[in-house]
Homo-oligomer: A and B are copies of this chain.
Amino acid sequence: METKNVFKQIPADLTEELFENILGNESFRLERIISKGHATPKDQWYDQKDDEWILLLQGSAGLRIEKQEIITLRQGDYILLPAGLKHRVEWTDHESETIWLALHFSK
C-alpha cells in the first residue's frame, strides 16, 4: 500500500493557490489546499451547496463568516461550514505555506 504525506510534495511555485483532490466518491470529496498569502478575491464569498469541514494543518488563516468577526485559524483548528453559510478567507500566512484539509459532503 502506498503512503503519501500531507506536508510533502509542495510545489515551489505557489503563485496560484493549490487545490488537490485526495479521495472521494458520490457522497464526499476530500481535498488538500495549499495557500501562501492567498485570500478569497475582494468582495467574493464562498456560497456552497454542500457542507464543508475544514482543518488547518499548518500555517494560519483568517476566516470570515458573513456578518461575523474574522476567526483566526491556527494549526489543528477545524470548523464545520454548513451549506449556504457564506464565508471567505480574508488572509493566509505570507511567510510559509498554509495547508488545509477540506471535506466536502452532501447530507
Contacts and interface: CB of A to CB of B under 8 A. Distances in A.
B105 A55 contact: no
Interface residues on A, range: 20 to 34
A58 B5 CA distance: 12
Copies in the complex: 2
Contact of A25 (B3, B25, B57, B107): B107
Interface of A: 1-8, 22-23, 25, 27-28, 30, 53, 55, 57, 65, 68, 71, 73-81, 85, 101, 103, 105, 107
A-B CB proximity, top 10 nearest: A27-B27, A7-B76, A5-B76, A6-B76, A3-B79, A3-B77, A5-B77, A28-B28, A1-B79, A1-B65
